[in-house]
A = this chain, B = another copy of it.
Amino acid sequence: MAHDTTLSPFVPAKHPEVPAIKGVRFAAVEAGIKYKGRTDLMLAVLEPGSVAGGVLTKSRTCSAAVNWCRDKLKSGQARAVVVNAGNANAFTGRKGDEAVQLTAEAAAKAVGCKTDEVYLASTGVIGEPMDAGAFAHRIQEMAGTASQTAWFDAASAIMTTDTFPKLATTSCKIGSETVTIGGFAKGSGMIAPDMATMLSFIFTDANITQPLLQELTFEIADKTFNCITVDSDTSTSDTVLVFATGKFGGAQISEKDSPEAMAFHDALHEVMLDLAQQVVKDGEGLTKFVTVNVTGAASDAAAKSIALAMGNSPLLKTAIAGEDANWGRVVMAVGKSGEEANRDRLKIQFGPHVLAKEGQRAPDYSEDAAAAYMKNSEIEVSVDVGIGDGKATIWTCDLTHGYITINADYRS
């Protein structure tokens, strides 16, 4: 990376060991796209019969790769994924589309599939023309060396300002057999929920129909990747793709209400939430991981809107960085959301500490106890707005000098 950054305080002591998942292999190489001395190109090879579900950025200036994936998800057949770091291939006009086509053709040839079965993602600088010819020829060799266990290499190759690779895994029983899910994500800045705000690739050996996989991916993204914010800025490249190889031996999952689909849903939710939270825990310059709970809103959507107003408030985020239980800024953020709130029933908690209730400072509120709580590295801010039953939880981080340092001089 071009700048010095200190590591996130949430760098895991030990990375999760993701087991091999039948039907998917990974490779990563140093293609020299922008960075030196690190891998920056990742290939995942999927066996025939694999399907994909996905959620892509709503940005109106989305990257060429995002447009490509949106088109390919219509059928959802999948055989390969190519991701590069260092250049987002966004705002690159027709040349951007050409780079995507060239990359997809190289991958299709290497893997032996149609270009319609290739998924692409690019992350890095926006607006810089990307010379796909400089790396596409590497894909052939990568397809040959790809391995079922190269999860860490794959997760590392897609990082940009990330300070650690983000991996997660779980499994669930479908009948008497075990389905495995593994995945990785990148993202650290330009993180805001509208859709997903980073790249994440999740793989499973589940045998699931493409329409159901798409439906579950969309639903779960809304409760996980769409519930995180670092800086309110929506990326041009956000992509979450879930691939199912179908190599699990049991029956196909096709009915949403079946016990099998529900078990798979819960396991997929676990992995997606884990990865989404890891993205926040690597938020640029963060010192604290913040969970925002809103209850008592007019609807779940209203609750989410209030929670995001809080999670995106520079004033609340700097207060948390300063270890200040500044609930006045919570009041402000609730107010600015534009959602209904009962001023005289508002209740505000920082962790277990009730700072305000019934529309004013709690009479028994202890500044010392609240101040001690704020020294934790994981902070929970909870608000009940006293209107209805709507609730939401989102995850964010504090806003620090580190964020400014990182972003005031990223490109140079």
A386–B322 Cα distance when bound, in Å, is 43
A189–B370 Cα distance when bound, in Å, is 24
> Which residue of B is nearest A234, CB measured?
B336
* Residue A354 lies at the interface, judged by CB distance under 8 Å to chain B: no
Taking CB atoms and an 8 Å cut-off, the chain A residues in 325-358 that contact chain B are 326-329, 331-341, 343-344, 346, 356, 358
Among the stretches A38-46, A54-62, A203-211, A272-280, the one at the interface with B is: A54-62
Residues of B within 8 A of A7 (CB): none
Q: How far is the CB of A325 from chain B (nearest CB, A)?
A: 9
A336–B312 Cα distance when bound, in Å, is 14
* Residue A129 lies at the interface, judged by CB distance under 8 Å to chain B: yes
Q: In the bound complex, do residue A359 and residue B91 qualify as a contact, i.e. CB atoms below 8 Å apart? A: yes
* Residue A171 lies at the interface, judged by CB distance under 8 Å to chain B: no
Taken together, the copies of this chain in the complex come to 2
Q: In the bound complex, do residue A338 and residue B93 qualify as a contact, i.e. CB atoms below 8 Å apart? A: no
Q: How far is the CB of A228 from chain B (nearest CB, A)?
A: 15
A341–B60 Cα distance when bound, in Å, is 7
Q: In the bound complex, do residue A127 and residue B356 qualify as a contact, i.e. CB atoms below 8 Å apart? A: yes
Q: In the bound complex, do residue A315 and residue B407 qualify as a contact, i.e. CB atoms below 8 Å apart? A: yes
Among the stretches A13-21, A72-80, A263-271, A395-403, the one at the interface with B is: A395-403
Residues of B within 8 A of A59 (CB): 332, 335-336
* Residue A412 lies at the interface, judged by CB distance under 8 Å to chain B: yes
A338 and B58 contact, Cβ closer than 8 Å, known pairs A315-B190, A401-B404, A403-B318: yes
* 21 A/B residue pairs, CB under 8 Å, sorted by A: A59-B332, A60-B335, A60-B336, A60-B340, A91-B328, A91-B359, A92-B360, A126-B331, A128-B328, A129-B360, A232-B314, A233-B336, A234-B332, A236-B332, A314-B314, A318-B404, A318-B408, A322-B412, A399-B404, A400-B404, A400-B408
User: Which residues of A come within 8 Å of B, CB atoms?
Assistant: 57-62, 88, 90-96, 125-129, 189-190, 192, 194, 231-236, 312-315, 318-319, 321-322, 324, 326-329, 331-341, 343-344, 346, 356, 358-361, 399-401, 403-405, 407-412
The 5 tightest CB contacts between A and B, nearest first, are A126-B328, A61-B335, A322-B408, A59-B335, A234-B336
For the complex with contacts A93-B344, A324-B410, 14 further pairs of A-B residues with Cβ separation under 8 Å are A59-B336, A60-B336, A60-B340, A61-B331, A61-B346, A91-B343, A96-B360, A194-B336, A233-B313, A233-B329, A233-B333, A322-B408, A322-B412, A326-B410
